[in-house]
Amino acid sequence: MALSYEQVSNYYQRAVEGHVYIRETIDAALERVGALVGRLGRNPRILELGSHAGFVSLQLLRRLPHAQLTVWEPNSDMVDMSRQRLRRDDVAYHRGDLDELPGKVDIVLSVARHHHLAHDYLSQLTRVMNPGSSYVLADELCPEYCWGDHALRIAGAELVHVAGGYVLTTHAEVAAFLERGEVPTEAKEIEVLRKRALWNWYRFVVDKAVERGYFDIAVSELQSTHDDLITGSDAEHKFSPSIVERQLCLAGFDVTRHLVGDSSAKELQSMFVFECQLRHPTPLFCQTQVVRAQRGSTAPNSSSTEPSGLPSAS
């Protein structure tokens, strides 16, 4: 059932208050955008992926009131809610294919959208970005589960192709899957590791929501847990930071990764802000950097009218 503007607004506010590290992650992403604008030295053209009913846009425009903001949002109801929240005529909305956006942008921002978007969206996104422009990607991922040989496999991937929920890393693996339905043993192994890491993370998130008295957010996270533990789920599918970073590198970005939250517990490192600078032509090797926040630091496909990106409404 479609949600009203008041229900969606209330949900987003409760999600920020009840879900661990969401507020800090949004703040860290907006701080990175502000720093990029400062270096740019002029009013930027910013593209936001997903409207969140204007929840993030409003915070962005409070910090950067003169920014030229375009919001890519295919859902007309979410666009209407965003307009209602922002009450500004100078914000543009694009509902068509991402690569059909007119003109080029200086900065792209996405909050909790990467793991909901089509796996090939980066190839569309780079077509509307100028060389040297930046993408600030903030998301809740699965804590890292690719270690040892699995880490080497991801780091050396010639592509990242998701097939039935499994991560394929070579053209030969993709061909074998398409022709015979074969999935490499390594891909099956890391999918099991992904589920174990996710279970540990979601238990932490749900316990924190209950501890804070946000039982509705806890129930929403339990639904996300159910969806995320199904291999190949279209509703929810979080990958590890190293897989996301490799996707970004292969798309032509140099990447700096900022961890949000407690840096002392690897199994709880889920919230990240990736600051990505586009280079053309795509280099053979991309530059990556990991910035670990101090403990407690705040640094750094939708057809329904339910909130997308932030935790799903129950």
What digits encode the pLDDT tens for the residues 233-247?
888 889 999 999 999
pLDDT at 90: 94
Give the whole-number percent of the chain exceeding pLDDT 70: 89
Q: What is the mean pLDDT of residues 263-292?
A: 77
Q: What is the mean pLDDT of residues 179-190?
A: 97
Q: How far apart, in Å, do the first and last CA atoms of the chain sit?
A: 11
Distance between CA atoms of residues 237 and 139, nearest Å: 12
Domains of the chain, by residue range, sit at: 1-141+240-307, 143-237
Lowest mean pLDDT among 112-116, 232-236, 284-288: 284-288
pLDDT at 42: 87
pLDDT digits (tens, 9 = 90+) for 7-57: 999 999 999 999 999 999 999 999 999 999 999 988 899 999 999 999 999
pLDDT at 224: 95
pLDDT at 241: 97
pLDDT at 119: 85
Distance between CA atoms of residues 205 and 223, nearest Å: 12
pLDDT digits (tens, 9 = 90+) for 117-168: 988 899 999 999 988 899 999 999 999 999 999 999 999 999 999 999 999 9
Distance between CA atoms of residues 195 and 233, nearest Å: 12
Give the whole-number percent of the chain exceeding pLDDT 90: 81
What does the mean pLDDT of the chain come to? 90
pLDDT digits (tens, 9 = 90+) for 207-228: 999 999 999 999 999 999 999 9
Domain 1-141+240-307 annotated CATH 3.40.50.150 = yes
pLDDT at residue 192 greater than cutoff 60: yes
Placement of tokens 């316990």 in the chain: 207
* Burial bucket for residue 251 (CB in 10 Å: 0-12, 13-18, 19+): buried
Greater confidence, 272 or 290? 272
pLDDT at 300: 37
pLDDT at 110: 98
pLDDT at 175: 97
pLDDT at 212: 97
> Can you state the angle between helices 5-18 and 76-86, rounded to 10 degrees?
80
Distance between CA atoms of residues 77 and 89, nearest Å: 17
- Give the pLDDT band of residue 281 (cuts 50, 70, 90): low
- The closest of 99, 125, 119, 123 to 160, measured between CA atoms, is 119
